[in-house]
Structure 1
Amino acid sequence: MPDAVLKLDPLRAWRFVAGKVSGLGAVTSPPYDVLEPAIVRRLTDSDLHNMVRLILPRDPDLGPSRYDEPARRLVGWQRDGIVVQDEQPALYVYEQRLRGAVLCGLVGSLRLDPARRVVLPHEDVMPHWVDDRLRLMEATDADLEPILLAYADGGVASDAVDAARAGEPWLEAETYNGAEHRIWRIDDPVTLAEIETELAKHEAVIADGHHRYAAYLERQLRAPYRPSADVGLAMLVDYVRHPLTLDPIHRVVPGLELATVQARTPPGWQLQPGRVEGDPNRISVTDGSSWLTLHSASDAPAVTLLHEVLLSSWGAVEQDITFHHTLDDALALAGPQRAAVELTAPEMDQVLRSAAQGVVLPQKATSFGPKPRVGLLFRTL
C-alpha cells in the first residue's frame, strides 16, 4: 500500500451570484450541528436561498424522502443561475474576522484517508448523524459544508495563504453577526505545486466535521468507481500561524436529578455545592436552580470521564442526551428531572496527543472555532 500523504486538490467551487440574492452574507449559515431553532428561523427568513434550506432538511416524519427537497432546490438554483461554478480549478484562501477572532486557511478537495494515517479524527461519531449527512450528500450529489482540519507549521503553504491575502479578494461578504468574510483564489501552477509538496510532509487533525468526514468515507466505500468520491470538501488551517479556539460542548441529561448525582457519583470524586469556577477539569451539574461541582484527580479530559465513568454510574441513557454549544442553551432546558452538565474544554495537547495515538474522545467532545461559514463555497461531484 502506498504511503498516505496529506493532499488538498484544487476544485471548481460553486458560489452564489451576488445580483441574484439579497446579499452574499444573507444566504450563508453556520454548520448544521450548531443551529438552534431561533437561528434557523432567522436564517430561513433572511433570504429564500439561505443555505439552511439545503443543509437542514425539515419534516423528519417524511423519512428518507425529506432529502429530496434540498436536492430539487439545489438543482433549481443551478438552473436559474442563483449559484454558478468557477470556470477554473483553484485552492481558495478563506478568511473570517469577527471581534478580533480570525479564521484563515485553504479550502479544497481533501484526499480521504480511511487508514487514519494523515487525516486524524479526535472524537467519536454518532451513527445516526453520519447516516443523516450521507443521505444529504447522496441526494444532492454535493459537499455543502467544508470540514475543518488543523495542522502545524505550514511553511510555504502558509506563506502562500498570506501572500494571497495581500491581494484583492475574489469574494467578500458580511454576515448578520458582524463577521467579515473574504476569499482569494490560488491557481498558479507553481504555487499549487509548492503547496502540494509542503502538505505532503504533514498530518492533520479533524477539528470540526467528524460526522461529515465519516460520511465521506462511507460514500467512498459505496462508490469506489467515482474518482470524485475519493475527496471531500475541507478547510485546512495552520493553527500555529492562525490559532483556533477550543471550547466545550455541554450536555442535557433527561431523567437525571441532582440527588442522583450526589448519591451515585463513584468514590474518589470531590463534590462541592455550587458552581465552582477556576478548576480547569471540573464538571458542574445543575437542575436550573442548584449546582453541584465534581472534580477527579484523573488527568483525563472531563468529557472522557463523564462518558466513561459518570453517566453509567448515574444510570443515564446516553441516546437521550442532547448537546449544546452554549451554556445558556443547555441551562434553558434544565429542570428538576433534566440536569444540565457544564464541561470544560480539553487542552489542545490532549486532543492532538489522543489523535496521534489513534485514541478518540467521546462524541461532541470539543468545539473548535471559528467555524467556516456555510454557503460561500461548496462542491458538487
Structure 2
Amino acid sequence: MSEASAGVLRLEPLRAWRFVAGKVSALGAVTSPPYDVLEPALVRRLTDADLHNMVRLILPRDPGLGPSRYDEPARRLSGWQRDGVVIQDVRPSLYVYEQQYGDAVLCGLVGSLGLDPARRVVLPHEDVMPHWVDDRFELMEATDADLEPILLAYGGGGVASDAVDAARAGEPWLVADTENGAHHQIWRIDDPAVLAAIAQELAGHEALIADGHHRYAAYLERNRREPNRPGTEVGLAMLVDNDRHPLTLDPIHRIVPGLSVDLVSSRTPEGWQVLPGRVEGVPDRIAITDGTSWVTLRSTEGQVTPTVALLHRVLLPAWGVPADEITFHHVLSDAIALAGPQQAAVELVAPRMDQVLQSAARGVILPQKATSFGPKPRVGLLFRTLD
C-alpha cells in the first residue's frame, strides 16, 4: 500500500465469485445471514435447504477441532470452484447491491476496501472479542477467501451515489430471493471512467464500520502477518451512502449472569433513577427483568455517551458483576426467555447515529455488540479470493 493511498478511503474493483444458477437449487437458497446473527434453528434450516449453502463454510461449529475445523470448508470451496458451482467474474467491477426487506432497503457498492490500520478514514466504533477475531481469521486463512462482506456507511455522497442509482436503472446482473422474504439484486459497474470518478470522490470521505468489526480486525491481522502478499491490503466490503440510503440502527440486548432485579434496585449509583416496571418512552433507558418483574433505569444527568457504554463502564462495575460471561441477543424475546432470578435480561435502546459518529470521530470505542446496523448484506451472493 503506497503512502499516497493509505490515508484515503478506497473501494477497489474486484473479480467477484458467485454461484451459478443452474448448479444450485436457487441462488437465494445458498445464501445466509452473517455468522454472528445465526441462531441454531436457522443454521439447521439453511443447511438442509441446499448442499451448497454458505453456512457450510462460515459456521462449522466444532471448537474442539481448533483451527483445523475450517479445513473441510476450505476443501468444500475448492470443490465448488473446480466443479463450476461458483465462477469468477471476467472483469474487475464494483457491484451495486440492493436488498429489499419489508420497508427497509440496503443499497450500496461492494468492492475491495483498502485497510486503514491508523483509523484515519475507516473508523471502527465497537470493541471486539479476541476469540471471534481469531475465528474469522482462521476461516479466511483456511479458505484464502473473504466470504462475508463487512458493512460501512458514509455521508454526503455525490458521484458514487449517482453511479449507484444509474446502475439500478438497468437490468440486474443477478437476482435472488431468500427464505426471509428479502429480494436481492446486483448490478455491475466496470466502465473505467465511472470507476475512476467513484474512486476520486470516495477519496474525500471517511467511512464508519457499521457491521463486521471482527471481520475487519481479521483483515488487519492477515495483512499484519503477510504484508507483502497481494490481496491482503484489502478486504471484502459494502459501502453505503447513509444520507441517500439510510441504514437501520437497532440495539443488541444482553443476558448478564449474576445480575438480579434486587441488585439493580439496591446498588445503582447516583445519576440514575430506578423506576418500577418496564417504562416506555424514556430516552436512553435501560430496562432489566428477571423474567417476572422489571425495573427501568433513567439517567438524571443527561448524556451524550451512548447508554450501552454507560452500562459497561459505570453500571456493571457498580453492581459488581463481571462482563466476561455476558451473552448478546438481537431479539429481545430470546433474551427474556433466558432471564431468571440470578441472570437478568438487559433491554437497551439503540444509540443515535450522531452518538455513534461522534464517538468514532473522537476515537472512542464502544463496548462490543453496541449496535446492530442493517439490513446486513447477505452472505453468498458475492465473495472474493486472494488468488
> TM-score, normalised on structure 2?
0.97
- The residue that corresponds to 1:132 in the other structure is 135
- The whole-number CA distance in structure 2 between the counterparts of 1:313 and 1:298 is 19
Which position in structure 1 is the counterpart of 2:100? 97
Relative to structure 2, which stretch is displaced further, 370-379 or 54-63?
Answer: 54-63
CA–CA distance in structure 2, aligned partners of residues 152 and 62 of structure 1: 43
Q: In the aligned structure 1, how far is the partner of 2:220 from the partner of 2:346?
A: 32
Contact preservation (8 Å) 2:154, 2:208: yes
SS in 1 for 2:71: helix
Structure 1 letter corresponding to 2:307: A
1:182-261 equivalences in 2 (<5 Å): 182-261=185-264
Counterpart CA distance in 1 for 2:30 and 2:179 is: 10
| Equivalent position of 1:74 in the other structure | 77
| SS of the residue 1:319 aligns to | coil
The AA in structure 1 aligned to 2:69 is R
1:59 and 1:159 map into 2 onto residues whose CA distance is 45
Tell me the equivalent position of 1:373: 378
Report if aligned partners of 2:13, 2:111 keep a CA contact under 8 Å in 1: yes
Cα distance between partner residues in 1 of 2:65 and 2:186: 37
- Name the residue aligned to 1:155: 158
Corresponding residue number in structure 1 for 2:328: 323
Runs of 4+ in 1 over 6 A off after TM superposition: none
Q: Secondary structure at the match of 1:375?
A: coil
1:304 aligns with 2:289: no
Corresponding residue of 2:367:
362
Query: When the two structures are aligned, how many residues end up with a matched partner?
Result: 381
Structure 2 distance, partners of 1:84, 1:8, is 22
Compute the displacement of 1:273 (Å): 1.0
Report Cα offsets for 1:114-143 as digits up to 9, x if no partner: 110000011111111111111111011100
Q: Alignment partner of 2:72: what SS? A: helix
Give the aligned residue type for 1:283: I
Superposition deviation, residue 234 in structure 1:
0.3
**1:320 counterpart SS class:** coil
CA positional deviation for 1:71: 1.0
Contact persistence 2:306–2:356 (CA under 8 A): no
CA distance in 2, matches of 1:125, 1:252: 18
Distance, in Å, in 2 between the alignment partners of 1:367 and 1:223 is 31
Runs of 5+ unmatched residues, structure 1: none
Matched AA of 2:198:
I
The whole-number CA distance in structure 1 between the counterparts of 2:65 and 2:318 is 37
Paired AA for residue 330 in structure 1: A
Alignment of 1:317-356 (within 5 A): 317-356=322-361
Residue 254 of structure 1 deviates from its aligned partner by 1.5
What amino acid is the match of 2:24? V
> Please, which moves more after superposition, 19-28 or 327-336?
327-336
Q: TM-score, normalised by structure 1?
A: 0.98
**SS of structure 1 residue aligned to 2:14:** coil
The SS at the match of 1:30 is coil
Of 309, 314, 323, the match for 2:319: 314
- For the residue of structure 1 that corresponds to 2:194, the secondary structure is helix
Q: Give per-residue Cα distances to partners, 1:79-136, cap 9 Å, x unaligned.
A: 1111111111100000000112110000000010111000001111111111111111
2:167, 2:378 → 1: CA distance?
20
Q: Percent identity?
A: 77
Query: Which residue, 284, 288, 292 being the options, matches 1:285?
Result: 288
Deviations 1:177-222 (A, max 9, x none): 1110000000000100100111011110000001100110111000
Corresponding letter in the other structure for 2:64: D
Structure 1 residue matching 2:275: 3-state secondary structure: strand
Alpha-carbon distance, 1:255 to partner? 2.1
Residue 62 (str. 1) matches residue 65 (str. 2): yes
Contact 2:338/2:345 (CA < 8 Å) preserved in 1? yes
Aligned-residue offset at 1:298? 3.6
Q: 1:311-341, CA deviations, whole angstroms, 9 ceiling, x for partnerless residues? A: 1122222111001111011112111111100
Deviations 1:213-235 (A, max 9, x none): 01101110000111200000000
| Structure 2 gaps, min length 5 | none
CA distance in 1, matches of 2:17, 2:321: 44
Aligned mates of 1:129, 1:241 — CA distance in 2:
32
CA-CA distance at 1:19 after TM superposition: 0.8
